Structure 1
Amino acid sequence: MLGLGELGTAAALHFQQLGYQVSGWARKQKDIAGIRCYAGNSQLALALAEADLVICLLPLTAQTDNMLDAQVFAMMKPGTIFINVARGAIVDDKALLAALDCGQLQAACLDVFREEPLPPTHAFWSHPAILVTPHTSAVTRVETVVAQIAENYRRSQRGLQLLNQVDLTQGY
């Protein structure tokens, strides 16, 4: 799992509960029971080296823009399957296509793209190893959203810190 924030951690724990051996990578060190956690640029290759499936749930920041390039795809073992449900600009499109064409990656499932909607002439549409999905990585559940809005309203009325705030200095 690339990205161990709220979504990445939830996904990692879900797959762990299904019986998969899960590891994850984040910018900062995380401690998640049963998940092998890697952190920082120095441990990215370790995080990718043994993965059969790499799921990207990274935020788009100055540090992650085009982060998944030829060098990073080369860190993955041959035949890895790649899934991006984060942000399209994290992936270098040409490097992804090259990694698929040479067999470094077996397949890719892409839910997000550098340009959305994905232009009809984009190579992703016709590549036999790419599955394009319609940017629906998660369906918002009304009851969850309403509960969070209501809780944050109560917190704001009491002068408490709001839940799930965006840190503009980090970009997410």
Structure 2
Amino acid sequence: MYSNLQWLDHAVTPDRTFKMQTNSDGTVTLTPAGKVIQQGTNMSAANFNNMEMGLTDHDLAVKICIMALRQIESRTTDGEADIDELAADILAEVTPEEQTVTLTNGARYPFNSSSKSVSLKANRKTKNYTVEYEVSSSDGNVGEIVVGSKALNGFSMAFTGSAKTVTVKLKIRGGIIA
């Protein structure tokens, strides 16, 4: 995300004055004269890269807005019911479905039998949904959480560690708009 930087001009009084020194090789060295009344913002890679990041963020945001407008245009007619349905779909797309799942492992380490099918409360139109998870409790080493075998009505998940029981909080987003 772009972090705004307030740029400052370098201000010297008197302005545009230099001390001139003639060197032994015939060259001249100009040294700024006067008193600095405001130190300017450093023209460094960090500051210029920050600007580039802001431009990239802006470009991405505009492209996302254009995609959303095209989606709205392709799905609506002049009917108010279509617009209400689309608004409900967009809200469902970004509002997470929350669940708590307990995974149990009946096998001894290094084996693991914790795979479980998780049903979605609302079927999806596509498998293009994300599953965010957070381990809320466990009675041992969890290892990694693995989400796989996505379907329109659910997915499977497991853990790879040696724990016997792991409770996971889930947030499922997306997959509503085809």
- The normalised TM-score by structure 1 is 0.21
More helix by share: 1
Which structure has the greater CA radius of gyration?
2
- The normalised TM-score by structure 2 is 0.20
Higher relative contact order (CA 8 A, sep 6+): 2
